[in-house]
Amino acid sequence: MSNQLLRFVVVFLVLAVAVAVSHFLPGLDGSAIENGFRNSLHVIGFAVFAAIIFKATPASTMLKSIAAISLAGIIGGFSEYMQSRSGRTDIFDLYRDFGGAIAYVCAKVLWDYSATPGIRRTILRTASVVTGSLILFPITYWAGIAVYYISRSPLILDFDGRFDSYLFSPINSQIEISEIGSEETDNRGQVAQIHLTHRGRSGIQMSTVVYDWTDYSVLKFEARVIEGENTTVTVHINDYEHIGRFFDTSAGRIFVTNHSGLFEIPIDAVLMETSERNIDKSDIRQIVIFARDKRNGTRMSLDNVRLE
């Protein structure tokens, strides 16, 4: 076996193991924004994979391109197969893997063929840069959203933001975003209207962007019943390890009426009542508010969720 071929095999095996291991890393699936980062890393990771394979392949440009894209697809497909055995597969990950590899190969080939002077050089290099920028566009998009919400901290969610829909979803309910205020008062905004149902745990779940709550003691929000019967709701706070697990606490229980306004939930008291779960206050990922009473037809508004 020649040195070039041996190097290619070693590089391929190392990359294959690295890709497989990276698919099982935890921590980037707690919210839509985190999933966006994770999906973006698929594109970037397989672009890097294709770049290394392209450089390591001892062949013509055509064969380098075929090898880079084909092997990226094989490794991506194998990784998804392994994930499917644990129930975590996402077929769109394979499309992202191919997309990253194809974007790199196209950008590389266009750049290599732009060696001739003149207008052709300008066109090809511009096309190469544009194609290459597609690799970084997704992560730039999600990073921009994350920075936007971090800059608004300690406000978590006021339902006025353009990207707020990434941070909340219904639980056995329907959620509508409605306008409040008027143009005359110049005090317009939006609130979430939660249509509660007779099913258990009907409400809303919200994701956080700022995870470290160690400097905060109170979770505040505005809520009231718009239509239907008054209802008792509970507030749940979860770290990454406990996303989707709920435990009622007296400190997180409130009674919402059609005259209600601002509520203050003592964070430490809620976490103390769930001390056996050992929730990490520096890694809070989820807030859940749902009705304890089965109130079919009740509509509850929610606004200005923030920390203090």
pLDDT tens digits for range 226-235 = 988 888 889 9
Tell me what the mean pLDDT of segment 24-36 comes to: 73
Q: Which two tokens stand for residue 106?
A: 């196209």
pLDDT confidence of residue 149: 92
pLDDT confidence of residue 85: 72
pLDDT confidence of residue 11: 61
Q: How far apart are CA 273 and CA 253, in angstroms?
A: 12
Q: Is the pLDDT of residue 59 over 90?
A: no
Percent of the chain scoring above 70 in pLDDT: 85
pLDDT confidence of residue 182: 47
Tell me what the mean pLDDT of segment 7-24 comes to: 61
Q: How far apart are CA 281 and CA 24, in angstroms?
A: 24
Q: pLDDT for 223-258, tens place per residue?
A: 999 988 888 889 999 998 888 887 778 888 999 988
Give the fold, CATH level 3, of 156-307.
Jelly Rolls (2.60.120)
Q: pLDDT for 94-134, tens place per residue?
A: 888 889 999 999 999 999 988 777 888 899 999 999 999 99
Q: Is the pLDDT of residue 199 over 80?
A: no
Tell me what the mean pLDDT of segment 65-81 comes to: 84
Q: Is the pLDDT of residue 183 over 60?
A: no
Q: Is the pLDDT of residue 39 over 50?
A: yes
pLDDT category, 28, cuts 50, 70, 90? Answer: low
HEC string for 31-77: CHHHHHHHHHHHHHHHHHHHHHHHHHCCCCHHHHHHHHHHHHHHHHH
pLDDT confidence of residue 150: 93
pLDDT confidence of residue 24: 56
pTM of the model: 0.82
Q: How far apart are CA 154 and CA 267, in angstroms?
A: 14
pLDDT confidence of residue 18: 63
What phi, psi does 214 have (nearest 5°)? -65, -25
Q: Which two tokens stand for residue 113?
A: 């063929």
Start-end of CATH 2.60.120.430 domains in the chain? 156-307
pLDDT confidence of residue 185: 40
pLDDT confidence of residue 45: 85
Q: pLDDT for 284-306, tens place per residue?
A: 999 999 887 766 778 899 999 99
- Find how far residue 298's CA is from the centre of its chain: 30
Tell me what the mean pLDDT of segment 153-159 comes to: 92
Mean per-residue pLDDT over the chain, rounded: 84
Percent of the chain scoring above 90 in pLDDT: 39
Q: Could you tell me which residue, 184 or 89, shows the higher pLDDT? A: 89
Q: How far apart are CA 44 and CA 8, in angstroms?
A: 21
